[in-house]
Amino acid sequence: MTVLVTGAAGYVGREVVAALAASGRPVRALVHRSHGDAQEGVEHVHGDVADAESVRSAAEGCDAIVHLVAILNGSDAEFEAVNTGGARNAVAAARANGIRRLVHMCALGVSKEHAPLTRYWGSKYAGKLAVTESGLDWTVMEPSFVFGKNAGALKTFESLIRPPLAPVIGNGRYRHQPVWLGDVATAFVRALERPETIGRTYGLGGPEAFEFDDLLDELARVTGRSPRRKLHVPAGLMKVQAAVLQYLPPQLKVTRDQIVMLLAGTECDLGPMRSELGIEPASIAEAYTR
Protein backbone atom coordinates (compact mmCIF):
# COMPACT_ATOMS: atom_id res chain seq x y z
CA MET A 1 0.00 0.00 0.00
CA THR A 2 1.67 3.23 -1.17
CA VAL A 3 0.66 6.15 1.01
CA LEU A 4 0.67 9.77 -0.14
CA VAL A 5 1.48 12.08 2.78
CA THR A 6 0.72 15.76 2.37
CA GLY A 7 2.73 18.16 4.53
CA ALA A 8 5.49 15.56 4.67
CA ALA A 9 8.24 18.10 5.42
CA GLY A 10 6.39 19.63 8.37
CA TYR A 11 6.92 19.05 12.08
CA VAL A 12 4.27 16.31 12.31
CA GLY A 13 4.72 15.19 8.71
CA ARG A 14 8.34 14.14 9.08
CA GLU A 15 7.49 11.94 12.06
CA VAL A 16 4.49 10.40 10.29
CA VAL A 17 6.55 9.66 7.18
CA ALA A 18 9.26 8.01 9.30
CA ALA A 19 6.71 5.91 11.19
CA LEU A 20 4.99 4.77 7.99
CA ALA A 21 8.32 3.89 6.37
CA ALA A 22 9.40 1.98 9.49
CA SER A 23 6.17 -0.03 9.29
CA GLY A 24 7.18 -1.18 5.82
CA ARG A 25 4.81 0.95 3.77
CA PRO A 26 6.03 2.72 0.63
CA VAL A 27 5.58 6.46 1.13
CA ARG A 28 5.24 9.27 -1.39
CA ALA A 29 5.83 12.62 0.29
CA LEU A 30 4.05 15.69 -1.09
CA VAL A 31 6.24 18.67 -0.21
CA HIS A 32 5.83 22.37 -0.92
CA ARG A 33 8.87 23.75 -2.75
CA SER A 34 9.43 26.30 0.01
CA HIS A 35 9.93 23.51 2.58
CA GLY A 36 12.68 21.51 0.87
CA ASP A 37 12.53 17.75 0.46
CA ALA A 38 11.32 14.98 2.74
CA GLN A 39 13.63 12.44 4.35
CA GLU A 40 16.16 10.47 2.35
CA GLY A 41 14.95 7.11 1.13
CA VAL A 42 11.38 8.33 0.61
CA GLU A 43 9.88 9.20 -2.76
CA HIS A 44 8.92 12.85 -2.84
CA VAL A 45 7.05 15.13 -5.21
CA HIS A 46 6.73 18.89 -5.08
CA GLY A 47 3.26 20.39 -5.01
CA ASP A 48 0.78 22.56 -3.20
CA VAL A 49 -2.33 21.28 -1.42
CA ALA A 50 -4.13 24.46 -2.54
CA ASP A 51 -3.61 23.34 -6.16
CA ALA A 52 -6.08 20.57 -6.91
CA GLU A 53 -4.18 19.32 -9.96
CA SER A 54 -0.88 18.95 -8.11
CA VAL A 55 -2.58 16.86 -5.41
CA ARG A 56 -4.38 14.73 -7.99
CA SER A 57 -1.11 14.13 -9.85
CA ALA A 58 0.79 13.31 -6.65
CA ALA A 59 -1.83 10.71 -5.69
CA GLU A 60 -1.55 8.73 -8.94
CA GLY A 61 -0.69 5.11 -8.17
CA CYS A 62 -1.23 5.48 -4.41
CA ASP A 63 -3.57 3.36 -2.31
CA ALA A 64 -4.17 5.76 0.61
CA ILE A 65 -3.78 9.44 1.47
CA VAL A 66 -2.69 10.91 4.80
CA HIS A 67 -3.58 14.60 4.80
CA LEU A 68 -1.71 16.67 7.37
CA VAL A 69 -1.38 20.20 6.00
CA ALA A 70 -2.84 23.16 7.92
CA ILE A 71 -1.89 26.72 8.80
CA LEU A 72 -2.45 28.60 12.07
CA ASN A 73 -1.77 32.09 10.69
CA GLY A 74 -2.55 33.78 7.40
CA SER A 75 -5.10 35.78 5.49
CA ASP A 76 -8.74 34.77 5.13
CA ALA A 77 -7.95 33.59 1.61
CA GLU A 78 -5.00 31.51 2.82
CA PHE A 79 -7.07 29.81 5.55
CA GLU A 80 -9.72 28.96 2.95
CA ALA A 81 -7.21 27.73 0.38
CA VAL A 82 -5.08 25.59 2.71
CA ASN A 83 -7.21 24.39 5.62
CA THR A 84 -10.47 24.00 3.72
CA GLY A 85 -9.35 23.75 0.12
CA GLY A 86 -6.49 21.40 0.94
CA ALA A 87 -8.88 18.87 2.49
CA ARG A 88 -11.28 19.20 -0.42
CA ASN A 89 -8.44 18.69 -2.87
CA ALA A 90 -7.29 15.57 -1.00
CA VAL A 91 -10.82 14.17 -1.28
CA ALA A 92 -10.99 15.07 -4.98
CA ALA A 93 -7.57 13.48 -5.60
CA ALA A 94 -8.71 10.28 -3.90
CA ARG A 95 -11.85 10.12 -6.04
CA ALA A 96 -9.97 10.89 -9.25
CA ASN A 97 -7.49 8.08 -8.59
CA GLY A 98 -9.88 5.48 -7.23
CA ILE A 99 -8.41 5.72 -3.72
CA ARG A 100 -10.77 4.74 -0.91
CA ARG A 101 -8.61 5.30 2.19
CA LEU A 102 -8.07 8.79 3.63
CA VAL A 103 -6.70 9.64 7.07
CA HIS A 104 -7.07 13.33 7.92
CA MET A 105 -5.50 15.39 10.70
CA CYS A 106 -7.81 17.86 12.35
CA ALA A 107 -7.44 19.17 15.94
CA LEU A 108 -9.17 19.11 19.29
CA GLY A 109 -11.45 22.12 19.58
CA VAL A 110 -12.53 22.08 15.94
CA SER A 111 -16.32 21.83 16.08
CA LYS A 112 -19.53 23.30 14.70
CA GLU A 113 -19.86 25.33 17.90
CA HIS A 114 -16.36 26.78 17.65
CA ALA A 115 -16.28 27.26 13.87
CA PRO A 116 -17.59 30.87 13.92
CA LEU A 117 -15.13 31.98 16.63
CA THR A 118 -11.76 31.87 14.81
CA ARG A 119 -10.61 31.57 11.22
CA TYR A 120 -8.56 28.49 12.06
CA TRP A 121 -11.49 26.68 13.65
CA GLY A 122 -13.85 27.71 10.87
CA SER A 123 -11.57 26.66 8.03
CA LYS A 124 -10.58 23.40 9.72
CA TYR A 125 -14.21 22.52 10.46
CA ALA A 126 -15.13 23.03 6.80
CA GLY A 127 -12.19 20.84 5.82
CA LYS A 128 -13.24 18.17 8.29
CA LEU A 129 -16.75 18.14 6.85
CA ALA A 130 -15.30 17.72 3.35
CA VAL A 131 -13.64 14.52 4.58
CA THR A 132 -16.42 13.08 6.75
CA GLU A 133 -19.09 13.73 4.11
CA SER A 134 -16.95 12.41 1.24
CA GLY A 135 -18.22 8.84 1.20
CA LEU A 136 -14.60 7.63 1.33
CA ASP A 137 -13.13 5.28 3.93
CA TRP A 138 -11.98 8.09 6.21
CA THR A 139 -10.49 8.37 9.67
CA VAL A 140 -9.96 11.71 11.45
CA MET A 141 -7.27 12.37 14.06
CA GLU A 142 -7.78 15.26 16.47
CA PRO A 143 -4.69 15.89 18.60
CA SER A 144 -4.24 18.35 21.43
CA PHE A 145 -1.02 20.42 21.41
CA VAL A 146 1.60 18.20 19.77
CA PHE A 147 5.03 18.28 21.36
CA GLY A 148 8.46 16.71 21.19
CA LYS A 149 11.60 17.32 23.16
CA ASN A 150 12.65 20.92 22.45
CA ALA A 151 10.01 21.22 19.74
CA GLY A 152 6.34 21.81 19.10
CA ALA A 153 3.85 23.71 21.24
CA LEU A 154 5.64 23.10 24.52
CA LYS A 155 8.79 24.73 23.19
CA THR A 156 6.78 27.94 22.95
CA PHE A 157 5.45 27.47 26.47
CA GLU A 158 8.97 26.78 27.75
CA SER A 159 9.88 30.33 26.75
CA LEU A 160 7.37 31.56 29.33
CA ILE A 161 9.27 29.92 32.20
CA ARG A 162 12.73 31.20 31.35
CA PRO A 163 12.28 34.42 33.36
CA PRO A 164 11.48 34.14 37.09
CA LEU A 165 7.96 35.54 36.51
CA ALA A 166 5.87 33.68 33.93
CA PRO A 167 3.21 35.68 32.04
CA VAL A 168 -0.09 33.81 31.72
CA ILE A 169 -3.14 34.91 29.75
CA GLY A 170 -6.29 34.88 31.90
CA ASN A 171 -6.68 32.88 35.10
CA GLY A 172 -4.48 29.95 34.01
CA ARG A 173 -7.21 27.42 34.80
CA TYR A 174 -8.06 26.40 31.24
CA ARG A 175 -7.01 22.82 30.58
CA HIS A 176 -4.86 21.22 27.90
CA GLN A 177 -3.76 17.63 27.31
CA PRO A 178 -0.50 17.78 25.29
CA VAL A 179 0.26 14.71 23.19
CA TRP A 180 3.70 13.42 22.23
CA LEU A 181 4.61 13.63 18.54
CA GLY A 182 5.61 9.96 18.46
CA ASP A 183 2.16 8.88 19.63
CA VAL A 184 0.50 11.02 16.96
CA ALA A 185 2.63 9.39 14.26
CA THR A 186 1.80 5.94 15.60
CA ALA A 187 -1.91 6.78 15.45
CA PHE A 188 -1.71 7.30 11.68
CA VAL A 189 0.11 4.00 11.19
CA ARG A 190 -2.44 2.14 13.32
CA ALA A 191 -5.36 3.70 11.46
CA LEU A 192 -4.04 2.35 8.15
CA GLU A 193 -3.43 -1.07 9.74
CA ARG A 194 -6.88 -1.38 11.31
CA PRO A 195 -9.99 -1.31 9.09
CA GLU A 196 -12.17 -0.91 12.17
CA THR A 197 -10.95 2.70 12.44
CA ILE A 198 -12.81 3.63 9.24
CA GLY A 199 -15.53 6.20 9.89
CA ARG A 200 -14.09 7.05 13.31
CA THR A 201 -12.74 10.27 14.81
CA TYR A 202 -10.04 9.94 17.47
CA GLY A 203 -9.05 12.50 20.06
CA LEU A 204 -5.31 12.25 20.73
CA GLY A 205 -3.96 13.46 24.05
CA GLY A 206 -1.43 12.73 26.74
CA PRO A 207 -2.21 10.80 29.93
CA GLU A 208 -2.89 13.96 31.92
CA ALA A 209 -4.88 17.14 31.31
CA PHE A 210 -3.25 20.13 33.00
CA GLU A 211 -4.55 23.49 34.02
CA PHE A 212 -2.25 25.90 32.20
CA ASP A 213 -0.53 27.09 35.38
CA ASP A 214 0.16 23.45 36.30
CA LEU A 215 1.40 22.72 32.78
CA LEU A 216 4.03 25.43 33.16
CA ASP A 217 5.04 23.92 36.51
CA GLU A 218 5.37 20.48 34.92
CA LEU A 219 7.52 21.91 32.14
CA ALA A 220 9.69 23.59 34.74
CA ARG A 221 10.08 20.29 36.59
CA VAL A 222 11.04 18.17 33.57
CA THR A 223 13.50 20.81 32.32
CA GLY A 224 15.23 21.14 35.69
CA ARG A 225 13.82 24.51 36.68
CA SER A 226 12.00 25.59 39.81
CA PRO A 227 8.31 26.50 39.46
CA ARG A 228 7.80 30.10 38.39
CA ARG A 229 5.54 32.67 39.92
CA LYS A 230 2.70 33.55 37.54
CA LEU A 231 1.68 36.97 36.28
CA HIS A 232 -1.93 36.62 35.15
CA VAL A 233 -2.79 39.14 32.47
CA PRO A 234 -6.56 39.68 31.93
CA ALA A 235 -7.69 37.95 28.74
CA GLY A 236 -9.70 40.98 27.65
CA LEU A 237 -6.64 43.20 27.88
CA MET A 238 -4.55 40.71 25.88
CA LYS A 239 -7.20 40.57 23.14
CA VAL A 240 -7.02 44.36 22.83
CA GLN A 241 -3.22 44.28 22.75
CA ALA A 242 -3.32 41.54 20.10
CA ALA A 243 -4.36 44.19 17.60
CA VAL A 244 -0.72 45.32 17.77
CA LEU A 245 0.99 42.07 18.82
CA GLN A 246 -0.25 40.25 15.72
CA TYR A 247 2.21 42.25 13.62
CA LEU A 248 5.30 41.25 15.62
CA PRO A 249 7.83 38.63 14.39
CA PRO A 250 6.63 35.00 14.66
CA GLN A 251 8.40 34.26 17.96
CA LEU A 252 6.67 37.25 19.60
CA LYS A 253 3.42 37.26 17.66
CA VAL A 254 0.11 36.93 19.51
CA THR A 255 -3.26 37.03 17.75
CA ARG A 256 -6.77 37.30 19.07
CA ASP A 257 -7.61 33.91 17.51
CA GLN A 258 -4.70 32.28 19.36
CA ILE A 259 -5.96 33.69 22.65
CA VAL A 260 -9.50 32.44 22.03
CA MET A 261 -8.25 28.93 21.25
CA LEU A 262 -5.83 28.83 24.18
CA LEU A 263 -8.59 29.75 26.63
CA ALA A 264 -10.97 27.12 25.20
CA GLY A 265 -8.68 24.26 26.24
CA THR A 266 -8.11 20.88 24.59
CA GLU A 267 -9.16 17.70 26.38
CA CYS A 268 -10.27 14.30 25.13
CA ASP A 269 -11.37 10.83 26.19
CA LEU A 270 -8.35 8.52 25.86
CA GLY A 271 -10.45 5.35 25.79
CA PRO A 272 -10.58 4.95 21.97
CA MET A 273 -6.91 5.93 21.58
CA ARG A 274 -5.97 3.16 23.98
CA SER A 275 -8.44 0.45 23.06
CA GLU A 276 -8.84 0.95 19.29
CA LEU A 277 -5.44 2.35 18.31
CA GLY A 278 -3.50 0.42 20.95
CA ILE A 279 -1.56 3.46 22.14
CA GLU A 280 -0.69 4.14 25.78
CA PRO A 281 0.21 7.83 25.58
CA ALA A 282 3.54 9.05 26.89
CA SER A 283 3.66 11.66 29.61
CA ILE A 284 5.59 14.87 29.18
CA ALA A 285 8.34 13.56 31.45
CA GLU A 286 8.60 10.26 29.53
CA ALA A 287 8.63 11.98 26.14
CA TYR A 288 11.32 14.44 27.18
CA THR A 289 13.68 11.54 27.88
CA ARG A 290 13.17 9.87 24.48
Supply the pLDDT for residue 78.
Answer: 97
> Is-contact 13 68, C-beta < 8 A?
yes
Supply the pLDDT for residue 38.
Answer: 59
Residue 252 neighbours by CB under 8 Å, 6+ apart:
245
Q: How confident is the model at residue 289 (pLDDT cuts 50, 70, 90)?
A: confident
Given a cut of 80, whether residue 250 has pLDDT beyond it is no
Supply the pLDDT for residue 254.
Answer: 85
Minimum mean pLDDT range among 58-62, 146-150, 155-159:
146-150
Given a cut of 90, whether residue 54 has pLDDT beyond it is yes
User: In the predicted model, what is the mean pLDDT of residues 212-219?
Assistant: 96
User: In the predicted model, what is the mean pLDDT of residues 144-152?
Assistant: 83
Q: How confident is the model at residue 242 (pLDDT cuts 50, 70, 90)?
A: confident
| Domains delineated in the chain | 3-145+180-205+267-281 (3.40.50.720)
Given a cut of 80, whether residue 114 has pLDDT beyond it is yes
Average predicted confidence (pLDDT) for the chain: 93
User: In the predicted model, what is the mean pLDDT of residues 47-71?
Assistant: 97
Q: How confident is the model at residue 243 (pLDDT cuts 50, 70, 90)?
A: confident
Quick: pLDDT tens for 180-210: 999 999 999 999 999 999 999 999 999 999 9
Other C-beta atoms closer than 10 Å to the C-beta of 226 total 9
Q: How confident is the model at residue 150 (pLDDT cuts 50, 70, 90)?
A: low
Given a cut of 90, whether residue 249 has pLDDT beyond it is no
Given a cut of 70, whether residue 131 has pLDDT beyond it is yes
Supply the pLDDT for residue 273.
Answer: 98
3-class secondary structure per residue, the chain: CCEEEECCCCHHHHHHHHHHHHCCCCEEEEECHHHCCCCCCCEEEECCCCCHHHHHHHCCCCCEEEECCCCCCCCHHHHHHHHHHHHHHHHHHHHHCCCCEEEEECCCCCCCCCCCCCHHHHHHHHHHHHHHCCCCEEEEEEECCEEECCEEHHHHHHHHHCCCEEEEECCCCCEECCEEHHHHHHHHHHHHHCHHHCCEEEEECCCCCEEHHHHHHHHHHHCCCCCCEEEEECHHHHHHHHHHHCCCCCCCCCCHHHHHHHHHCECCCCHHHHHCCCCCCCCHHHHCCC
Query: Looking at the DSSP assignment, which residues form a beta bridge with residue 62?
Result: none
Minimum mean pLDDT range among 107-111, 149-153, 248-252, 263-267:
248-252
Supply the pLDDT for residue 246.
Answer: 79
The CA distance from 54 to 250, in Å, is 29
Supply the pLDDT for residue 192.
Answer: 98
